[in-house]
Amino acid sequence: KIHHYIWIHIPGYIVADIAPQKFQANFTKFTQGAQKKDGPQKRQLGRHPRIPFTSHQLSVLEEKFQQSPYLSSEEVIALSRRLQLADVRVKIWFQNRRARERREKMVQNSESESQEDHKKNSLPNSQDISTSSTVQ
């Protein structure tokens, strides 16, 4: 028996759009997919294979990012035409690059804080001892 609300879990379907046969076929596909979790899921090859950026495209994108981490819609269009990329790819690249920048800053800040904490909590070295004894 099919649970009445299972359609919520099938992506891309609205209740009114589902014919009973189509629903049953997608329900079966959905439940079988949920059972096959042996290891990490590989990306399904579909209509859009992953196409990496060329080194020239990356250098131009990085150069533009160093000038400004944000682009106007006109700049996105101009850059995408210059690099022969879809506008969406340029936009997403900049989003991902900003996220990478934030992540790297967080790591850098946490490392510097841990070094400062280590210095505060460590025993004083011989210079610190000699300096403190001459001050008194």
- How far apart (Å, rounded) are the C-alpha atoms in residues 40 and 75? 38
| Two tokens, residue 67 | 């000038």
Q: With respect to residue 131, please indicate whether it lies within any of the assigned structural domains.
A: no
pTM of the model: 0.54
- How far apart (Å, rounded) are the C-alpha atoms in residues 67 and 64? 5
Q: What is the pLDDT along the chain (136 residues), one digit of tens a residue?
A: 555 555 555 555 554 444 555 556 655 655 565 555 556 666 666 777 889 999 999 999 999 999 999 999 999 999 999 999 999 999 999 999 999 999 999 999 988 888 777 777 776 665 655 555 555 5
Q: With respect to residue 72, please indicate whether it lies within any of the assigned structural domains.
A: yes
Number of independent structural domains in the chain: 1
Measure the CA dihedral 110/113/119/120, to 10°. -130
Q: With respect to residue 45, please indicate whether it lies within any of the assigned structural domains.
A: no
Q: With respect to residue 36, please indicate whether it lies within any of the assigned structural domains.
A: no
Q: With respect to residue 69, please indicate whether it lies within any of the assigned structural domains.
A: yes
What CATH number is associated with residue 80? Answer: 1.10.10.60
Q: With respect to residue 127, please indicate whether it lies within any of the assigned structural domains.
A: no
Domain interval for residue 103: 55-109
- Hunting for tokens 């209509």 — which residue is that? 47
Q: With respect to residue 4, please indicate whether it lies within any of the assigned structural domains.
A: no
Q: With respect to residue 46, please indicate whether it lies within any of the assigned structural domains.
A: no
